[in-house]
């Protein structure tokens, strides 16, 4: 497992005020938000932050994966889908507005596992954004043999051009309007792609297929689980998954996705 229970304690997290530097809508219900915050210096690919709705409009923060990290400019980028009251509020905010965020949360992708290996970076739906920084971090480390991004969309694609700037990128769309018709697994079959390591984030059916595919083909796979979260710091046990190991907090075969994950070595979790 990439993260051990209790590794990220509540005391290590910081609630800070971030300033919106820019925001735009880039697809249907998909928003691209850049925040100025010192948390960028600590952030890693695959981690997330919890964003609090302003003025106490809603009680609980919304967990959003980090799409991109710009340490030079002091920014983190969040690309999210506006689906409920909280994210709808965020989508109406503009440059100069302030947001309270808690971070940096979770354990990210073990980029070093791709050293001297071929790697698939796979994303589906709103699991695509965190994979952009994963590709960038792999490229910056410069030790992977080659990197292929495989991205699955319903129809309207976003961030595809940016992935293509950093690696060879393939897309699948459900309606066949772009790339391969079908899902990310159909892309692998259509292009006969091979890899030694997989990093992935997306809906559960996609992750199950990737876990099965990696087991059948002897591929090391690390998957980021998407889950509804409440506290985001492991206190409420609202986001758990079944694991091989016994959790030090709950004393059962559960893992708190917000602290022990969201990234796991695929064989270690039951999905």
The last residue of a domain, from among 59, 76, 105 = 105
Same domain, 82 and 151: no
In a domain, 120, yes or no: yes
Same domain, 135 and 184: yes
Same domain, 100 and 122: no
Same domain, 77 and 186: no
Same domain, 101 and 122: no
Enumerate the H helices of the chain as residue ranges: 85-91, 129-141, 160-166, 184-191, 204-217, 257-260
Q: Per-residue confidence at 226, pLDDT binned at 50, 70, 90?
A: confident
Question: pTM here?
Answer: 0.89
Give the containing element (helix H, strand E) for 31.
Answer: strand 30-36
Q: Which domain holds residue 187?
A: 111-270
Beta strands in 91-249 (DSSP E): 98-105, 118-124, 146-153, 168-173, 180-181, 197-202, 220-225, 240-243
Position with higher pLDDT, 271 vs 128: 128
The last residue of a domain, from among 47, 72, 105 = 105
Alpha-carbon distance of 49 to 40, in angstroms, equals: 11
- Quick check: 11 pLDDT over 90? no
Which of the 8 DSSP states describes residue 6?
T
Same domain, 187 and 255: yes
In a domain, 257, yes or no: yes
- Quick check: 113 pLDDT over 90? yes
Same domain, 125 and 257: yes
In a domain, 1, yes or no: no
| DSSP β-bridge partners for residue 70 | 75
Same domain, 135 and 245: yes
Same domain, 149 and 189: yes
User: What residue has token string 């060879």?
Assistant: 168
Position with higher pLDDT, 113 vs 234: 113
In a domain, 242, yes or no: yes
Q: What is the CATH number of the domain that holds 228?
A: 3.40.50.80
Interval 161-168 mean pLDDT: 97
In a domain, 146, yes or no: yes
Q: Per-residue confidence at 61, pLDDT binned at 50, 70, 90?
A: confident
Percent of the chain past pLDDT 70, that is, above it, reads 82
Calculate the CA dihedral of residues 36, 147, 209, 206 and round it to 10 degrees: 30
The last residue of a domain, from among 54, 74, 105 = 105
Which residues have a Cβ under 8 Å from the Cβ of 247 and sit 6 or more positions away?
5, 240, 253, 254, 255, 256, 260
Same domain, 119 and 31: no
Q: What is the CATH number of the domain that holds 70?
A: 2.40.30.10
In a domain, 4, yes or no: no
In a domain, 72, yes or no: yes
Which residues have a Cβ under 8 Å from the Cβ of 141 and sit 6 or more positions away?
111, 112, 114, 115
Number of domains in the chain: 2
In a domain, 88, yes or no: yes
Same domain, 69 and 177: no
Alpha-carbon distance of 242 to 150, in angstroms, equals: 27
Same domain, 143 and 244: yes
3-state secondary structure of 198: strand
């Amino acid at each position: 497992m990439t993260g051990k229970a209790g590794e990220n304690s509540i005391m290590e997290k910081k609630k800070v005020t971030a300033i919106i530097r820019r925001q735009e809508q880039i697809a249907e219900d998909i928003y691209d938000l850049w925040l100025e915050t010192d948390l960028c210096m600590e952030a890693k690919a695959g981690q997330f932050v919890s964003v609090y709705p302003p003025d106490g409009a809603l009680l609980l923060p919304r967990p959003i994966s980090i799409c991109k990290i710009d340490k030079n400019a002091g920014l983190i980028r969040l690309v999210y889908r506006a689906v409920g009251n909280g994210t709808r509020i965020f989508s109406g905010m503009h440059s100069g507005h302030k947001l309270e965020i808690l971070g940096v949360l979770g354990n990210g992708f073990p980029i070093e596992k791709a050293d001297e290996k071929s790697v698939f970076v796979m994303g589906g739906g709103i699991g695509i954004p965190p994979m952009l920084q994963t590709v960038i971090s792999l490229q910056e480390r410069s030790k992977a043999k080659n990197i292929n991004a495989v991205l699955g969309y319903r129809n309207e694609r976003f961030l595809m051009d940016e992935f293509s700037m950093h690696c060879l990128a393939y897309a699948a769309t459900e309606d066949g309007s772009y790339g391969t018709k079908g899902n990310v697994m159909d892309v692998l079959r259509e292009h006969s792609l091979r890899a030694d390591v997989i990093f992935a984030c997306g809906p559960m059916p996609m992750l199950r297929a990737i876990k099965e595919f990696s087991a059948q083909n002897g591929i090391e796979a690390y998957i980021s689980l998407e889950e509804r979260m409440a506290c985001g710091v492991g206190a409420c046990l609202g986001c758990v998954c079944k694991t091989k190991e016994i959790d030090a907090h709950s004393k059962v075969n559960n893992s708190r996705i917000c602290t022990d994950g969201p990234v796991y070595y695929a064989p270690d979790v039951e999905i």
